[in-house]
Structure 1
Amino acid sequence: MHDPAVRDLLDRLFAEAERDDERSPGRPAPTVTAQERSNLLEDIYMPISARGGDLLYSLVRGIRPETVVEFGTSYGISTLYLAAAVRDNGTGHVTTTELSATKVDAARANLTAAGFRDLVTVLPGDALTTLTAVAGPIGLVLLDGWKDLCLPVLRALEDRLAPGAMVVADDSTFESMSDYLAYVRDPANGYVSVGFPVEDGMELSCWTGR
């Protein structure tokens, strides 16, 4: 994580992400599909915050999961933090998924530049389809794709979560995350969940295995 080449790459990507407002085509209509949204916003980075990235890195270092799953690769900023932690742990693999073909290519290039390409599998396509092939037990999940899909993706992964697995959902302060938060904060659903105060919020949920 402290390799100058990795830090420089992250700094460049965060600097590009600061121009998201300039490049933004505006909010997509609510009637468009997830694929259409991805195509429309293919130039928008939509990254986690740097502090959120540091939190992800710390969680992976502490949990030492063999299997890490990410929903919503974008340009790979969050993926770089996950991969850096896996590399520094000396064990594990990250599987991430992205709808935008442009972003898939960019993320793969960024991971290669950081020297992490062998640690990450980038799956192009719909997460509800691509992630069905990921074998458990899954030790950590990052949900950072379209907010209306975070809960369906989590439900699709639940039967492969390891007891004690950590599920991290970014942008937890968004209104579109209300159904997700209601689900993970209900103890009957098998999670111990708490909000973490990074930019736009992160929800940290530990899977108890019910």
Structure 2
Amino acid sequence: MTTTLHDPAVRDLIDRLFAEAERDDERSPGRPVPTATAQERSDLLEDVYMPISARGGDLLYALVRAARPQTVVEFGTSYGISTLYLAAAVRDNGIGHVTTTELSATKVKAARATIEEAGFGDIVTVLEGDALTTLGAVGGPIGLALLDGWKELCLPVLRLLEDRLAPGALVVGDDSTFASMGDYLAYVREPGNGYVSIDFPVEDGMELSCWTGR
């Protein structure tokens, strides 16, 4: 059975976006200064895709298919590559909705266009603005959350979502090998905080955490 993920229209779009992402180094204006705000960094890097890896995308698709969450939340859609994997799984499950958020207005516009081109406009909502504000209004229970925005904000976003996580919810922290994920990893790996957590060895790492509650 052919999955939506391998439908030619969706597959070609994903491949095209990954091809564009390969030019990130030449588009990048360099690393933002350490004191730059999240908004300033987002504006500076508005042309840079910063995608998940293809294998990471396959993992996300498999997790959503297996968990069959009614509500999927994503922090940091960028140009929408990871969102396509999540939405393809929701489509194939026949249930659920993806709510994603992005700080860069340029990327929000691009991601919305990507989602419409893939035919996922009915199952994806892209919220523009600070995730600590936009995700506060998302109803629960949340069955799966992908945290792939600015790394120092992954833990605050998780804490924001925590009281809406469904029992057994999956939380995926991307780029788990980054030093800036240290506080996040320490939190989800501490059993007293309510998670069973394991690092999955895709490119740059993904931390998979199951919410057991406290």
Note if 1:37 corresponds to 2:41: yes
1:97 is aligned, of 94, 98, 101, to: 101
1:75 is aligned, of 79, 91, 97, to: 79
Instruction: Find the aligned partners of 1:161 and 1:182 in 2 and give their Cα distance.
Output: 19
Note if 1:151 corresponds to 2:187: no
Shift of 1:2: 1.4
Q: Tell me the amino acid that sits aligned with residue 31 of structure 1.
A: T
Q: String of CA shifts for 1:53-107, please: whole Å, max 9, x gaps.
A: 0000000000000000000010000000000000000000000000000000000
Output aligned runs, 1:1-210, within 5 Å.
Answer: 1-210=5-214
Shift of 1:147: 0.2
Query: Tell me, which stretches of 5 or more residues in structure 2 are unaligned?
Result: none
Instruction: Find the aligned partners of 2:112 and 2:161 in 1 and give their Cα distance.
Output: 24
Shift of 1:209: 1.4
State how many pairs are aligned.
Answer: 210
Query: Tell me, which stretches of 5 or more residues in structure 1 are unaligned?
Result: none
When normalised by structure 2's length, the TM-score is 0.98
Sequence identity (%): 85
Instruction: Find the aligned partners of 1:197 and 1:22 in 2 and give their Cα distance.
Output: 27
Instruction: Find the aligned partners of 1:110 and 1:144 in 2 and give their Cα distance.
Output: 18
Instruction: Find the aligned partners of 1:179 and 1:132 in 2 and give their Cα distance.
Output: 21
